[in-house]
Amino acid sequence: MRFIFLFVCFLGGCATAPNTKHESPFCDQLSAFAASVPSEESRSVKLTRGGRWLVDHYKACSRQNDEASITFCDWLFEHTSTEFMEANINIALSCLQGQKIVGYVGNTGIELWTGKARFYSPHIDADNVEIEIEYNVSYFEHDADEDYLQITVYAE
């Protein structure tokens, strides 16, 4: 009986579930940023981490000079992980896919994670937008590249 209970808890803890209403501050901020982009325009923010951890590491956020981009970039800088960039990527993906990631999302033990994805119907509280994310995490090649998460919103 105990085995069945643990097995059920294990399955429930590892699954993702549809998230029709965002309860994440990250998703709320992303939604506000996306909703602010004027029709037929685009805006980008890029969260960057570089250097060697605890030696000369740094975190930065680059963006356009409009108020919404500044607000989102400032929020990302203050409320996202500096050490575990993959946690930031996972949270962004969960907002855009409309699924909630259950469990711990930092320190996944990955060596290299790079990619680009475009969401034509993102599951956020903004209409008529497409969102593209581009990311790079390279834990064993810090001297060569910066780790980053870039979010670009295209308003229709």
Rounded-to-integer distance, Cα 6 and Cα 38, Å = 50
For the chain, the distance separating the N- and C-terminal CA atoms, rounded to the nearest angstrom, is: 54
Q: How many domains does the chain have?
A: 1
pLDDT of residue 29: 96
Helix 67-79 and helix 25-35: axis angle, to 10°?
Answer: 160
The count of C-alpha atoms lying within 13 angstroms of the C-alpha of 119, restricted to the half-sphere facing its C-beta, is 23
15 part of a folded domain? no
Q: Give the domain range for residue 130.
A: 22-155
Which backbone phi and psi does 45 adopt, to 5 degrees? Answer: -130, 145
Domain annotation covers residue 14: no
Task: Classify residue 4: in a domain, yes or no.
Answer: no
- Pairing mode, strands 99-100 and 112-119: unpaired
Distance (Å, whole) CA 75 – CA 85: 15
R_g of the chain computed on alpha carbons: 17
User: Around Cβ 47, how many Cβ atoms within 10 Å?
Assistant: 26
Q: Is residue 55 part of a domain?
A: yes
Q: Residue 3 domain-assigned?
A: no
Structure tokens at 143: 């001297």
Q: Residue 35 corresponds to which tokens in the numbers above? A: 């909703």
13 within domain boundaries: no
Per-residue pLDDT of the chain (156 residues; tens, 9 = 90+): 444 443 344 444 444 444 444 568 999 999 999 999 999 999 999 999 988 777 888 899 999 999 999 999 999 999 998 888 888 998 999 899 987 666 666 666 667 888 999 999 888 888 899 999 999 988 765 445 689 999 999 999
Look at residues 80, 149, 142, 73 and name the one whose alpha carbon lies nearest to residue 117: 149
